[in-house]
Amino acid sequence: MLSQPSSPRPEIYDETVFKLLMDYELARSQRYATPVSLLRIGLTLINPTHAEADSAPAALASMLNLRLRGADIPARIGNEFAILLPNTNESASRAVCERLLRITLGTQHTPLGFSTRVTICIGATTRNGGQPATASQLMQEAESALKNARARGPQTFHLYSDTALRGR
């Protein structure tokens, strides 16, 4: 008998729940020596109307829910998004960034029936299993990487380790 695929998450987590889940996953990563990655996603609309600007984050949230693994933890933090990727090393994190850039390229349809062109920039950071890390450290690294991605222009991503390696 084939099992039915699980339905997508009902919604994106809020910042409070996300921080609790992040603390849990970081402790698990350190205890069981599994990698964890964090993505920060900045959203930009191209020539939005007022209605599009209001509903575009919901369109991106819906798109993320449909295309992430069930174990991934997406959240909306202000006007940006964060995704915690348990059991995800740097090369897999890079692949997720590339996939998200591909699927957001072009026109997005919002829940209210509008169509808008959305571009994203992604900042990513990874911790190998067993390494101690705090949620605030990971958030700062991902924010720094997002800032570098935004400096490169729309539809780009930047890994924090690329910045760290250049600084040595």
Please report, for the domain that includes residue 94, its CATH number: 3.30.70.270
Locate 147 and state its tokens.
């800032």
Q: Phi and psi at residue 40, in whole multiples of 5°? A: -115, 130
pLDDT for residue 168: 39
Is residue 19 in a domain? yes
Is residue 9 in a domain? no
Is residue 154 in a domain? yes
pLDDT for residue 49: 58
Question: Residue 66's domain spans which residues?
Answer: 15-166
For helices 50-67 and 90-104, give the axis angle rounded to 10 degrees: 140
- What pLDDT tens digit does each residue of the chain (168 aa) get? 444 445 444 478 999 999 999 999 999 999 999 999 999 999 876 555 555 555 566 667 777 777 788 899 999 998 899 999 999 999 999 999 999 998 877 666 655 666 666 789 999 999 998 888 899 999 999 999 999 999 999 899 999 987 755 443
pLDDT for residue 114: 62
Is residue 127 in a domain? yes
The number of domains in the chain is 1
pLDDT for residue 108: 61
Is residue 133 in a domain? yes
DSSP 8-state symbol, 8:
P
Whole-structure pTM value: 0.83
Is residue 6 in a domain? no
CA trace torsion 60, 81, 91, 5 (10° rounding)? -50
pLDDT for residue 63: 74
Q: What is the residue-wise DSSP string for 122-149?
A: EEEEEE-TT----HHHHHHHHHHHHHHH
Is 117 in contact with 46 (CB distance < 8 Å)?
Answer: yes
Is residue 7 in a domain? no
Is residue 124 in a domain? yes
Q: Phi and psi at residue 54, in whole multiples of 5°? A: -75, -35
pLDDT for residue 167: 46
- Spell out where the chain has E strands: 36-46, 73-77, 80-86, 107-109, 115-127, 156-159
